[in-house]
């Protein structure tokens, strides 16, 4: 994969998992990657520079990225979310 492969994937994913924790808030831009997770009651934050994101390597066997930051090595999984539409109004209008 290319150096910008993770950057591209971050633009299209809806959720992230880092070290087994789901990131409820993350931002990927020209400054790098920033994310926040909850581990029990403790809030955890990670910040990776653009160079660190570009240096990430993909592990085919684990289907995840290895990202090395200031606090060491981390495992990152990009995920797509499914959304549900609980709005039945459209169905009602189709029958009319």
Domains, the chain: 5-95 (2.30.29.190)
Q: What is the token pair recorded at 86?
A: 């609980």
- What backbone phi and psi angles, to 5 degrees, belong to 21? -105, 140
pLDDT score at 50? 94
Please tell me the distance from the alpha carbon of residue 93 to that of residue 80, in angstroms, as a whole number.
Answer: 30
Span 32-59, pLDDT tens digits: 999 999 889 999 999 999 999 999 999 9
> pTM value?
0.77
Residue in this structure with the two tokens 């009319």, named with its chain if needed: 96
Q: What is the token pair recorded at 50?
A: 């653009």
Span 12-28, pLDDT tens digits: 888 899 999 998 789 99
């Amino acid at each position: 994969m290319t150096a910008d492969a993770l950057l591209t994937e971050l633009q299209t994913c809806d959720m992230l998992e880092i070290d087994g924790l789901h990131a409820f808030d993350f931002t990927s831009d020209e400054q790098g990657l920033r994310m926040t997770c909850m581990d029990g009651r403790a809030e955890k934050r990670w910040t990776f520079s653009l160079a660190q994101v570009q240096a990430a390597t993909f592990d085919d066997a684990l289907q995840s990225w290895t990202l090395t930051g200031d606090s060491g090595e981390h495992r990152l999984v990009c995920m797509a979310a499914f959304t549900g539409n609980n709005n039945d109004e459209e169905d009602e209008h189709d029958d009319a």
